A = this chain, B = another copy of it.
Amino acid sequence: MNIHEYQAREIFQAHGLPVPDSEVVDTPEGAADAARSLGGRVVIKAQVHAGGRGKAGGVKLAADPEEARDAAGLILGMEIKGLTVRKVLVAPTADIATEAYVGIVMDRVSQRPVMMVSPEGGVDIEEVAETNPEAIFKETIDPRYGLLNHQATRLAYRLFSDPSLARPAAGVLLGLWRAYRSADATLAEVNPLISTSSGEVLAIDAKMNIDDSALFRHPALEAMRDEDAEAPSERRAREAGLSYIKLEGSVGCCVNGAGLAMATMDLVKYYGGDPANFLDIGGSSNPEKVVCALEIMAGDPNVLSILFNIFGGITRCDDVANGIVEATSRLELRVPLTIRLTGTNEDEAVGILGVAGFEADTDMDRAVQRAVRAAGVQ
């Protein structure tokens, strides 16, 4: 789960990082007030779950409260990568001498968190990794020990040779690790970590992703979820326990299992269609989930054809069939439905569907081809 910059700033502050005080507001007038109370020049930053907000015009400087009001007025309501900006952060500007990158990512290869720092901060770290990889320094963190003091020291002296900067930087790295660990994060970043000409080290940006699987033990973090950042259909799916991602195609795909769902979408593409979504109803056999899945797909105006692809293992085909019958009795389906079912209780499912007037196929390729044709693509 992504959280917003202003939320990550709070968490980082709580772990002792030198994050300047700032305010988050949702109106231009609020931005003017914030600028007034912060005093001096401020920066207005869109709070939105999308990278590249600077390039998209989502970050603006303001010399006084009036400029802050105007800037916030321009940013609030703006769309960045399909997401509407509903909140802005108002933060004091800093007198930047140097900009560094510091971050912790979960590294799949070492199966450990890796702390990365670079004296080339303020830009996309993936770019630095490609153009100037020797400017990135790493320490693998043993999860049984956490980030050790000497590791923080080693990295801090890669960023600053001056001990009066390296010492607080080491403190920032240790604090960032504590924040990462205690929030069950999969990413924690400060970009840039700056030094000022007066010799301060400050974290003037904050980014954090939280492990979805760990949210059960972090109700306070779960409460930070920005439901506005999800499509309403995605929120509904999440609440129903479905794994759903809306795409732009016309063939709705409802599958049990994430791998098979992706393979089904790929096969739609292979046969000339475009998948309208990823949708995994998971391993359970709850007909209610099937009903919800069908409603979500049917509610997508782009969808011209709906495909079910169910491989019965734990999932019982008859449960899915019952769900389909139940859902279609509740809502008038305006698009053709193609059903592929095989495996556990396949015969019962075919019977149930037959009574309700549906035909079911057992072959995946044939069903996908039919669903693509039904969308009018071929």
Contacts and interface: CB of A to CB of B under 8 A. Distances in A.
A145 B146 CA distance: 12
Nearest to A143: B144
Interface in A92-148: 144-145
Nearest to A145: B144
Contacts of A144: 144-145
A145 B145 CA distance: 9
Interface string A141-168: 0001100000000000000000000000
A145 B144 CA distance: 7
A163 B241 CA distance: 33
Nearest to A142: B144
A144 B148 CA distance: 13
A141 to B, nearest CB: 13
Contacts of A145: 144
A335 to B, nearest CB: 50
A223 B145 CA distance: 29
A151 to B, nearest CB: 16
A82 B343 CA distance: 81
Interface string A276-299: 000000000000000000000000
A139 to B, nearest CB: 18
A115 B144 CA distance: 20
2 contacts: A144-B144, A144-B145
